[in-house]
Structure 1
Amino acid sequence: MPSAVVSSQGAFTALRFGRLAAMGTVAVLILIAGVWASWGSAQHVMLTKGRESGTIEVTRCGADSCSGPYTPISAGSQPRKSVVIEKNVAVRKGQTYTVVIKPGGDSVVRSGPAGILYSWVPLGGALLLASIVVAGGLRRTRMAWVMAGAGMALLTAAFVVV
């Protein structure tokens, strides 16, 4: 009979390790996806050295984007008749926003604190989602609460600033 007990404990240990490995992988993948989705616009907002910056006065809005004339602020930047900014809850017709031009086109992203926080919103959502996996799958409730708190703080700050 001792071999049956040892075999049962070994199977339990293997299943526990498998659950921890699988849930840990899922949580890490969620966080990587959040950083990846955020970095697409965050790199332009945070690493502004050598990039053109200025303001856009939104004059037209379509279904997915808004456009308007660009007035440069940084040295070496040229005025443009029309640049395109993604239409979201933070962009309204008739308003003026500080922006950074994405290299290789006429696309712009918001700059300053509002732009930084807004660009990291996908990471905030990923932190909230990963906290559920960490709490339920890994059974690490303290870590899950910290992750959820960080995600909520990031989303709340972005909402308030934008």
Structure 2
Amino acid sequence: MIPAMPASAAAAARPRGAGGALLRFGRVAVMGTVAALILIAGVWASWGTAQHVMLTKGREQGTVAVTRCAEGACSGPYAPTSAGSRERERVVVEDSVAVAKGRTYAVVVKPGTDEVVRSGPAGVLYAWVPLGGALLLASVVVAGGLRRVGVGWGMAGAGVALLTAAFLAV
């Protein structure tokens, strides 16, 4: 309440009764849905890569020596390290901050393709970067829209921790 505002004006600004309860329920329902959709989108975006990195049993694993990067993709020869994996002259890995020409990376082959994703701790953390961004975005909705400031700070902290760990690992 503003000190110069009369007490009756502050009371009139707050909805009361069934209408106020309905507005509060509507706000919580809408903001909760928005926060849930943001988090689901973050998991969905991350899972496309994370499933290959985290569930490696039965997948081809090896290393790629990056020799060429162009148009958003890097490529190089693949050397297998797991049983049943075959050597390939050229595999493709997404060109990102996690890949540099002239370096060798541990990778997992996506089934049925010549595409690979980074494996190991750096690959796992990098795969979950979209979830880290979603946590940061959803924290604003939770703290502001749902008025759960503590939960919002916790989500923001988890998002920052995930993004920082991915940055340091890559």
Question: Does the alignment pair 1:54 with 2:62?
Answer: yes
How many residue pairs end up in the alignment?
156
Deviations 1:20-51 (A, max 9, x none): 00000000000000000000000000000000
Deviations 1:45-83 (A, max 9, x none): 000000000000000101210000000000110000000
Q: Which runs of 4+ in 1 moved over 6 A?
A: none
1:95 match: 103
2:3 match: none
Question: Does the alignment pair 1:19 with 2:54?
Answer: no
Task: Name which of 53, 75, 97 aligns with 1:45.
Answer: 53
Compare CA radii of gyration and give the structure with the larger one.
2
Task: Name which of 74, 79, 84 aligns with 1:66.
Answer: 74
The residue type paired with residue 96 of structure 1 is T
Q: Determine the C-alpha separation between the residues in 1 that align with 2:150 and 2:144.
A: 12
1:79 match: 87
State the SS of the aligned residue for 1:70.
strand
Q: Determine the C-alpha separation between the residues in 1 that align with 2:16 and 2:52.
A: 55
TM-score w.r.t. the length of structure 2 is 0.90
Q: Determine the C-alpha separation between the residues in 1 that align with 2:117 and 2:47.
A: 12
State the SS of the aligned residue for 1:149.
helix
1:104, distance to aligned residue in structure 2 (A):
1.0
Q: Determine the C-alpha separation between the residues in 1 that align with 2:121 and 2:102.
A: 21
Unaligned residue ranges in structure 1 (runs of 5+):
1-6
Q: Determine the C-alpha separation between the residues in 1 that align with 2:118 and 2:138.
A: 27
The residue type paired with residue 114 of structure 1 is A
Q: Determine the C-alpha separation between the residues in 2 that align with 1:8 and 1:29.
A: 30
Aligned residues: CA RMSD:
0.9
2:164 match: 156
